[in-house]
Amino acid sequence: MAIETTGAPAGAPAGAPAPQEKGKQQAKPAVANTPATTGGDAAGEQKLTPAQLKAKAKAEKAARRAKAKEVKEVPPAAAVADAKGGKSGKGGKQEGSQSAGSQQQGKSMPGRRPSVNGRRPSVAIIKEDPRSSIPECFSHVPMAKRIQTSQAHKDVHPAVLAVGQQMATFALKDSIARLEATLLAFKKVIESYETPKGNSLSRHFVPHVLNPQIEYLTECRPMSFSMGNAIRFLKSQVNKFDIDTPEDEAKESLLEFIDIFINERITLAEVVISKNAAELIDEDGVVLTYGRHRLVEKTILRAKANGKSFAVSVIDDPYDQGGKELAKTLQQAGIRVFYSPNLGGLRAHLERASNVLLGTEAIFANGSLHAPAGTADVAMAASAANVKVVALCETINFDRERVSVDSLTYNEIDPERCSAESFRLMFDNTHSKYIAGVITEFESGTDFAPAQAILTLLRKREDPTIA
Amino acid sequence: MPHAVTIATPGLQALILCGPGSSFPTFTANPDENPKALLPIANRPMVWYPLDFCYRAGITNITLICPPTAQQAIQTALNTNPFLTSLPYPRPDLLAPKDLDQNTGTAEILRLPQVQETVTSDFLVLPCDLVCELGADKLLQAWMVKSASLTDLLDDTRSENVPPKRSGGLGVWYQTKTATPIKGEETDFLATVPLPSSSVSPPRGSLFPNISKVVYSTPTDSLKDLLEEEKGFPIRHALLKQHPRVRMLTTHRDAHIYIFPHWIMDFVRENERLETIGEDVLGWWAKAGWQKGLSKKLGLDAILGQSSTAVSNTDGKTSPVGSHSPKDSTVKHPTGSQIHDAISASGTTNLEGPVRPVIRTGDKPGHEETESANEKQNDSTIPPMLAYIHPSSSTDSTSTPLIRRVDTAQLLLQISLQLAKLPSIEEVGSAEAASPFAHTRKVAYPEGVKPRTTITKQDSLVADNVTVQEKTSIKECVIGANCQIGEGAKLSQCLLMDGVVVGKNCKLTKCILGKRSEMGEGCTLTECEVQENLLVEAKTETKNEKFMSSSGLEATEEDLAEDDDDEENDGNGNDEDGEDEEDDESAEE
């Protein structure tokens, strides 16, 4: 029995006493059992056949063993939880950033969740954990835990519950769609929030209301970089309120903040990026792309709407046939489409390609791309074939602190494809040297920023917002 | 001790409809005093099961709806029954609209003003006779992901979503043909089409692989009438054009678990012709998904167009459905005869499923492409009604969770016995590992059991305060609270409700004994049903009989109110019953 804590530290201290309680609970029936069974069986025992008696004795022995085992296992688990509780209390400042979350997960042993607050899921929780088969050395790589709504903290808002389930089942998949749904759900949370007597929104809202939501979302699926960023902005916004700010005013201002945020960082960003990127598409050229990404799709459709004539090569992600949908959509828009269901046809497709457009999940501080697995192959093959590779990314997806040069430090395990023999990583890391440029909503015209200049870009953007 | 629910509430409210139980003639002869909702299934009142189903998923806003005549009986049970009082807080509300009687249709119930007022969000509709082991959280997950629209859930009113996508619904159907089929179990006819394929593989353990979209739904009885009348099963061109792959199921049953978006209340209010949920609301909704112009006639376009919050137009126009009955609107399709063949081949007399008629409409694939594009547009206007088709448990009853409606005496017996086989919490060791329906102990009051008796614990349940005399044998039985089992009695596969007295040396097999009934000494009964408070004469030997009093007024108010003076009351009541009983028998002879 071990504990798996989640990104938000609130869960860890609460988790610490849980195993002890649990041990007690399990021990109790054991004690109570003995008199009860002997009393209850007194009547029945006499008529049992010898064979039945034997079977019964066997069952009892098995039960005793199981109990002994449980008792043995409890103390170490509790110790682990204690150590962690202390640790995450310190790390509490950097909550929301994914590194804290993944580090904690790395420390914890794989196992089932503790039943904090006596939550009782409808399914037996002794389901085998798919994680348990993954070797210890990969335990830092998070995987969507996909918790059920019945296992969620009681303060989780219904809208957040639904969004979480959509994320857990990958119905909401890419980073921006998840970010948008999260922010809209948080709007509902804020709308329904009432500060309890004797508290101030600026002190009470984040730890008691917002954090349970974030914790639940993280347990559905590890947060995307964009969500981490946005939540940090949101929290800093709350912290800016004076303790005496009237509740209505604070709520109003938060809702407005989210609206502006969505508008600026998602809606407008999409328009600007697709507009700029569309200009990169050459007349009569062939655009190659990998999988399906919203920005790439918007860009191609916009270029078509601008009256350009060109063809598109879609190389599909073999594990997520999103490219098929893209190919269909583009074909319906009257664009000539070449489609390859996997990376097999990459070289042939690259030969006629004039341009590669890639969608990304995030960009690290050293300029490398965090994108669906397979992107790196496409980028490397393209740069080897001297085809220009352009990545499209909203600035909200940029990570300002972390750098990554490999695919194993920050990644996510595909929960559907993980077994004792192998597991699939959902993302890979593309070094910035394979990318000719990145288009963000800050660039104008065809002159785009090299990936290495992203830090500068970010400072330009974020200095005014972050004090 | 009851405690407050400590899990997140999914923001839906639940309506539990407590109906009359007309299919239990023996036990609900007087549905006002003995409502069906309070009949015991494995010693718990029936309504406990849907309530528990809600609480397990964190749904705490629960409204029980019953006729005013049955209100008192149900309220009393809610306040006193140990199982109902031990449910977590907050307690369910009991609503007894004054216009509701025992024969009101389910959709008519939704149209009652009090119910319209009560429902303020997306909601679940449950029957009181539902035993569903499957967690509502899984169904909710399926609904949230596959059917609900984030536009509705998040109030996303931004302009990009035009027309706004509205939430759909989800229903549950289960296979009735299991390892132990039950005679006379109702079935419903269901036609579904696969959902548009998604690039994401469904998560393990989710219900997604068994989810499809409903395009036609009707009870088998109505289907048979239609088949008789039309000498075939008429299918519209539009359905086949839009959905080349239709799957028809004839042996499944609607579990009557519906997760509905709030706009259904408007839909029901605007269309006064809708009588029941299962047949009319679902049937018309599903048809509106593919039948051109129907959504407008039903007023769906207007209902879906308005935002989820603005509910106005209370006295709106009555729908034109009246002038537009299903028969008029149905065009007989040439391939309809093929389908009819398929159905009649498998037997209109003995409907077997799944029936998969092979239909070729002669469309070219290219044509289909554009059709599916049309369909996409259509889908965006009419939200889908989805069906979760519970996989059949015929292979291994332990692996798939139980879903069943218990609305006949036979089902009551069988499901009770099936639940009795669940290992108790005491046996499993912890409440979390045991089934949600497990009892704390198999024999709740071991002190009442004399030595030298046989009780097969693995498949029997003996409730509190039951006394069992010596030399008895109880095999595969469910015995309610306060029963007295006489010396030398042999019970096998029996269901005894509360307070039954079984005399010495009785032999009972596959019997259902109503509460406070009494078996005289030396009775031998097989497959019998005994109404509450009846006395069965000593030495009666019979098979397959229903013991009922002719008057049907045994359970007087006094009986219910003065439960404490069991002795006296029982004595009086039983004397009368005995006389009635004799009358019955002599009449038969």
pLDDT at position B399: 66
User: Which residue type sits at B210?
Assistant: N
Measured distance CA(B66)–CA(B35) in Å, rounded? 9
Tell me the Cα Rg of chain B: 26
Sequence-ordered list of residues with C-beta below 8 angstroms from that of A181, at least 6 positions apart, any chain: A163, A166, A167, A172, B150, B154
CB contact under 8 A, B154 and A321: no
% of chain B with per-residue pLDDT over 70: 77
Please name the residue of chain A whose CA is at the shortest distance from the CA of residue B474.
A44
B453·A322 Cβ contact <8 A = no
Contact A363, A438 (CB under 8 A): yes
From the list A26, A47, A148, which residue is nearest B137 (CB)? A148
- Confidence grade of residue B512 (pLDDT, cut at 50, 70, 90): very high
User: At residue B509, does pLDDT exceed 50?
Assistant: yes
Q: Which residues of A touch B10 (CB under 8 A)?
A: 149, 158, 161-162
- Amino acid in position A279: E
The chain A residue lying nearest B7, using CA atoms, is A154
In chain B, the percentage of residues whose pLDDT exceeds 90 is 33
Query: What number is the average pLDDT over the span B474-493?
Result: 92
Taking a C-beta distance cutoff of 8 angstroms, is the pair A237, A404 a contact? Answer: no
User: In whole numbers, what is the pLDDT of chain A averaged over residues?
Assistant: 76
Asked whether the beta carbons of residue B11 and residue A115 sit closer than 8 angstroms, the reply is no
Choose among B560, B480, B546: nearest CA to B515. B480
* Banded pLDDT at A96 (limits 50, 70, 90): very low
Distance from CA of B401 to the nearest CA of A (A): 10
Residues B447 and A142: their CA atoms lie apart, in Å, by 53
Asked if B297 and B330 count as a contact pair (C-beta separation under 8 A), the reply is no
Instruction: Report how far residue A365's alpha carbon sits from residue A368's, in angstroms, rounded to the nearest whole number.
Output: 7
Least confident of A63-67, A193-197, A452-456, B570-574: B570-574
Give the model's pLDDT for residue A101: 38
How high is the pLDDT of residue A271? 93
Distance (Å, whole) CA B572 – CA B524: 25
Q: What is the C-alpha separation between B404 and A455, in angstroms, rounded?
A: 61
- pLDDT of A91 strictly over 60: no
- Determine contact: A306 vs chain B, CB below 8 A: no
Question: What mean pLDDT, rounded, does chain B reach?
Answer: 78
Chain A CA closest to residue B451:
A43
Portion of chain A with pLDDT greater than 70, in percent:
67
**Cβ neighbours of A460 (radius 10 Å):** 11
Residue A154's Cβ-count burial label (10 Å; 0-12, 13-18, 19+) is: middle
Q: Kindly write down the DSSP assignment for every residue of B454-500, as one continuous string.
A: EE-GGG-EE-TT-EE-TT-EEES-EE-TT-EE-TT-EEES-EE-TT-
Contact A324 B199 (CB under 8 A): yes
* Out of B288-302, B360-374, B443-457, least confident range: B360-374
Tens-digit pLDDT profile for residues B116-166: 999 999 999 999 999 998 888 889 999 998 888 887 788 776 645 556 778
Angle B450-B454-B458 (CA atoms, 0-180°, nearest 5)? 120
pLDDT, one tens digit per residue, over B78-129 is 999 989 998 888 889 999 988 888 788 899 999 999 999 999 999 999 999 9
Q: What one-character-per-residue DSSP string does B256-313 give? A: EEEEE-THHHHHHHH-TT---IIIIIHHHHHHHTTSTTHHHHTTHHHHHHS-SS----
Contact A46 B451 (CB under 8 A): yes
Confidence category of residue B305, pLDDT binned at 50, 70, 90:
confident
What CA–CA distance (Å, rounded) separates A261 from A394?
12
Bridge partners for B490 per DSSP:
B473, B507
Flag the least confident range among A164-178, A200-214, B369-383, B421-435.
B369-383
- Largest interatomic CA distance in chain A: 93
pLDDT at B430: 78
| Range with the poorest average pLDDT among A242-246, A389-393, B344-348 | B344-348
User: Residues B167-188: pLDDT tens digits?
Assistant: 899 999 998 887 677 777 888 9
Residue B176 is predicted with a pLDDT of 86
Q: What is the pLDDT of residue B451?
A: 86
Model pLDDT for residues B200-248, shown as the tens digit of each residue: 778 877 888 899 999 999 999 889 999 999 888 888 888 988 888 899 9
pLDDT the model gives residue A460: 66
Q: Which pLDDT does position A153 carry in this prediction?
A: 86
CA–CA separation, B98 vs B265, rounded Å? 19
Asked if A169's CB is within 8 angstroms of B200's CB, the reply is: yes
State the best of B60, B134, B144 to mutate against chain A, taking most chain A CBs within 10 Å: B144
Chain B residues inside the 8 Å CB shell of A123: 135, 138, 205
Task: Using CA atoms of B83, B86, B91, B94 in order, give the dihedral in degrees to the nearest 10.
Answer: 20
Inter-chain CB proximity B135 and A122 less than 8 Å:
yes
- In chain A, residues with a C-beta closer than 8 Å to the C-beta of B140 are 149, 165
Determine, for residues B145 and A117 on separate chains, whether the beta-carbon distance falls below 8 Å. no
The pLDDT confidence band at residue B14, using thresholds 50, 70 and 90, is very high
The pLDDT score that the predictor gives to residue B90 is: 87
* Cis peptide bond prior to B354, omega within 30° of 0: yes
CB contact under 8 A, A154 and B5: yes
Tell me if A202 sits within 8 A of A183, measured CB to CB.
no
**Residue A124: pLDDT over 70:** no
Residue A42: which of B553, B474, B452 has the closest Cα? B452
Contact (CB<8Å) A161/B433: no
Residue A67: pLDDT band with limits 50, 70, 90: low
Determine the Cα–Cα distance for residues A123 and A126; give it in Å rounded to an integer. 9
SS3 A180: helix
Task: Return the pLDDT at A443.
Answer: 60
Measured between CA atoms, the residue of chain A closest to residue B159 is A267
B429: which chain A residues are within 8 Å (Cβ-Cβ)?
Answer: 26, 29-30, 33, 63, 66-67
Mean pLDDT, residues B13-36 taken together: 83
β-strands A362-363, A423-425: how paired?
unpaired
> Average pLDDT of B48-60?
92
Which A residues 337-396 touch B at CB under 8 Å? none
Mean pLDDT on A247-267: 93
Q: Does A268 touch chain B (CB under 8 A)?
A: no
Q: What does chain A come to in residues?
A: 467
Write out pLDDT tens, residues B326-374. 333 333 344 433 444 344 333 333 344 444 444 434 333 334 334 444 4
Which residues lie across from B388 on neighbouring strands? B172, B211
A211 to chain B nearest CA, in Å?
A: 14
Determine the distance in angstroms separating the CA of A124 from the nearest CA of chain B, rounded to an integer. 5
E-state strands within A221-315: 286-290, 311-315
Q: Position B454: which residue type?
A: T
**Cβ(B216)–Cβ(B353) under 8 Å?**
no
Q: Give the closest residue to B497 by CA, choosing from B46, B8, B180.
A: B46
Q: What are the residues whose beta carbons fall under 8 Å from the beta carbon of B365, sequence distance 6 or more? A: none
Residue B351 to chain A, least CA–CA distance (Å): 34
pLDDT of B24: 81
Q: Residue A345 has what pLDDT?
A: 82
Interval B31-50: pLDDT, tens = 778 888 899 999 999 999 99
Contacts of A62 in chain B (CB under 8 A): none
Q: Is the pLDDT of residue B317 over 50?
A: no
> Picking from A89-98, A128-137, A334-343, B298-307, which range would have the lowest pLDDT averaged per residue?
A89-98
Tell which of B120, B154, B398 to mutate to test the A interface (max A CBs under 10 Å): B154
Closest C-alpha to B551, from B531, B536, B522: B531
pLDDT bracket for residue A316 (50, 70, 90):
very high
pLDDT given for residue A24 in this prediction: 42
Searching chain A, which residue's CA lies closest to the CA of residue B153? A159
Q: Note the pLDDT of residue B494.
A: 93
DSSP-based helix, strand, coil % in chain A, nearest 5: 55, 10, 35
**Would you list the DSSP string of B99-168?**
T--TT--HHHHHHSHHHHHH--SSEEEEETTEEE-S-HHHHHHHIIIII--HHHHHT---TTSSSPP---
